[in-house]
Amino acid sequence: MTRTNESPSSGFAPLRQSLFAVLWVATVIGNTGSFIRDVASAWLMTDLSSSPAAVAMVQAAATLPVFLLAIPAGVLADILDRRKFLIGIQFLLAGTSVSLMLLSAAGLQSVASLVALTFLGGIGAALMGPTWQAIVPELVQKRDLKSAVALNSLGINIARAVGPALGGVILASLGAAFTYGVDVISYVFVVAALLWWPRPKAAQDVLSERFVGAFRAGLRYARASRELHVVLVRAFLFFALASSVWALLPLVARQLLGGGAGFYGILLGAVGLGAIGGAVVMPRLRARLDADGLLLAAALVTAVVMTFLSFSPPQWAAVAALLVLGMAWITALTTLNGVAQAILPNWVRGRSLAVYLTVFNGAMTVGSLSWGAVAQWTSVPFTLLAGAAGLVLVGVVAHRIKLPTGEADLVPSNHWPEPLMAVPIENDRGPVLIQIEYRIAPENRADFLKALARLSGERRRDGAYAWGIAEDSGDPGLMLEWFQVESWAEHLRQHKRVSKADADVQEDVLRFHQGEQRPVVRHFLAFNHPHEGRA
């Protein structure tokens, strides 16, 4: 568990690059506006309904669209002009806040309209998340990429610290309509920064993916990646249980702590400040604990805070507890996201991270609705205690499901030779059957099959939708590996996706092959010319 080979590092270099700095400041302003809007919506719901289920529904409406749309959004981020796409999303979000502002000003806001517009805002957030992550490599030099990603996380938490507190003050002083208006103004800065960005047009690529094919490729990778499965399971368990404190925090502030809208904003601001503090000390924590230790510590600390809040502590003590909660929350977020980033190759990073976001927001949605229902049937303190107990139990048990280390070299190896073609082949022709013949000695058969089983995962992750192994009935030493991909273009992409770590797995298989020549590889194209050969 202990780690001593890492040292803290500073990462403000990307801010010296004007393009990144301008867009970073714009995103901080935009996210601050979003947190201001969220505070107004959450608190307004407590005025419209005292039902815990209704209050939790606001949280669910915000996260459900990300659960439903994160993967399609990740695909769109790869195939559309990202700058124009982001500008369109800003107009969608601004229109949502204008609607909230007008309904509140006219006194026509209802539970149904608030949930519906919160859901529409969640759609915008779902579309924007993967796209913002995807543009970061375009804004900085390669050596500053990790620092830029860390600064984006810092910016979100700055907004989390400022936005809720500012939103609570504005809401208490000037009302919900004015609070939503402040959010509308924030989008002006974001759109202006995006219009200022002189993004060059992407070069045409004959192998560029289309939406449906890219969607399927991303799902195939996620289905075949065992390491990603571990991250997703650990993330779902943690966030589904920890979501109780977020879903019920407005009621905690009002019923258990006796505070108003301003105090609710202070609580959320304390979470943001705690997250900033956690981000600062994170390098030192990573030097002492591995990813599993960090996630377990985050679960235990979160459970302690939830238990503490259930006993209606003094307001000042609750604020201090929320500072600690922010540190635990950012520890869990950055740990799981960092592991996910480390195990994903670049070609599918956006789509796989979208799968991660889907699980994260699905856990928050299911958790919010479930904990809201529990609080409706029992009480808010009991629900917090139940969530804390579950978090401790699951945290200790899940600690045995070790997170992947993410140390594999995922840089493309480009070691596959170009396939032989007697005549040019249309890229959309398919499916394609690839066969590889191995000559295996009887005494090596069992070890060869074990190595080949590991290779099958790589084939499926990189594009194969079917894989198998067969032997020659008349010559048992002749083994045939086969796999299928949906088109010739997808197989050519597969050539570019094989990483150096995958190449090592393939070499482990090839060492069992007997003969001076490498295994024979054949490509078979589906016969889809029905009129050929007819009289």
Domain end: 398, 416, 449, which one? 398
- Residue 3 forms part of a structural domain: no
Residue 500: both structure tokens together: 């150096």
Mean pLDDT of the chain: 84
Measure Cα distances from 290 to 9, 237, 239, 397, 502 in Å. Answer: 17, 19, 20, 17, 25
Indicate if 478 and 369 belong to the same structural domain. no
Point out the least confidently predicted range of 2-16, 248-262, 341-355, 518-532.
2-16
Task: Please report, for the domain that includes residue 469, its CATH number.
Answer: 3.30.70.100
Indicate if 189 and 233 belong to the same structural domain. yes
- Check: CB of residue 26 under 8 Å from CB of residue 152: no
* Region of 463 on the Ramachandran plot (φ > 0 left; ψ -120 to 50 alpha; else beta): left
Is a pLDDT exceeding 50 seen at residue 490?
Answer: yes
Name residue 427's amino acid.
N
Measure Cα distances from 159 to 26, 34, 101, 153, 520 in Å. Answer: 11, 9, 21, 10, 58
Buried b (16+ CB within 10 A) or exposed e, 442-468: eeeeeebeebbeebbbbbbbbbbbebe
- Residue 427 forms part of a structural domain: no
Indicate if 457 and 364 belong to the same structural domain. no
Whole-number pLDDT of residue 3:
44
Predicted TM-score (pTM) of this structure? 0.75
Is a pLDDT exceeding 80 seen at residue 449?
Answer: yes
Owner of token pair 């993410």: 406
- Residue 422 forms part of a structural domain: no
Indicate if 444 and 384 belong to the same structural domain. no
- Residue 116 forms part of a structural domain: yes
Residues 226-231, mean pLDDT to the nearest whole number: 92
Is a pLDDT exceeding 60 seen at residue 300?
Answer: yes
Is a pLDDT exceeding 90 seen at residue 43?
Answer: no
- Residue 289 forms part of a structural domain: yes
Indicate if 391 and 438 belong to the same structural domain. no
Domain end: 352, 375, 398, which one? 398
Indicate if 230 and 159 belong to the same structural domain. yes
Indicate if 307 and 436 belong to the same structural domain. no
Share of the chain above pLDDT 70, in %: 92
Residues 264-291, mean pLDDT to the nearest whole number: 81
DSSP 401: S
Q: Give me the domain span that covers residue 348.
A: 16-199+214-398
Owner of token pair 């020659």: 472
Indicate if 222 and 116 belong to the same structural domain. yes
Q: Whole-angstrom Cα distance, residue 294 to residue 300?
A: 10
Q: Which residues contact 437 (CB under 8 A, 6 or more apart)?
A: 478, 479, 480, 519, 520, 521, 522
**Residue 305's pLDDT band (cuts 50, 70, 90):** very high
Is a pLDDT exceeding 80 seen at residue 208?
Answer: no
- Residue 36 forms part of a structural domain: yes
Is a pLDDT exceeding 60 seen at residue 8?
Answer: no
- Residue 324 forms part of a structural domain: yes
Q: Which residues contact 432 (CB under 8 A, 6 or more apart)?
A: 484, 485, 486, 487, 488, 490, 491, 523, 524, 525, 526
Q: Whole-angstrom Cα distance, residue 345 to residue 329?
A: 26
- Residue 521 forms part of a structural domain: yes
Task: Please report, for the domain that includes residue 333, its CATH number.
Answer: 1.20.1250.20
- Check: CB of residue 275 under 8 Å from CB of residue 326: yes
Point out the least confidently predicted range of 176-185, 202-211, 460-469.
202-211
Pairwise pLDDT comparison (384 vs 51), residue with the higher score? 384
Indicate if 237 and 92 belong to the same structural domain. yes
Indicate if 165 and 243 belong to the same structural domain. yes
- Check: CB of residue 525 under 8 Å from CB of residue 425: yes
Whole-number pLDDT of residue 5:
42
Domain end: 349, 377, 398, which one? 398
Indicate if 444 and 373 belong to the same structural domain. no
Indicate if 440 and 394 belong to the same structural domain. no
Q: Which of 180, 73, 176 is nearest to 132 (CA)?
A: 73
Measure Cα distances from 263 to 33, 39, 168, 532 in Å. Answer: 18, 11, 7, 77
Q: What dihedral do alpha carbons 365, 370, 375, 380 form, nearest 10°?
A: -50
Q: Whole-angstrom Cα distance, residue 242 to residue 285?
A: 21
Is a pLDDT exceeding 80 seen at residue 241?
Answer: yes
Whole-number pLDDT of residue 491:
86
Counting the structural domains of the chain, the total is 2
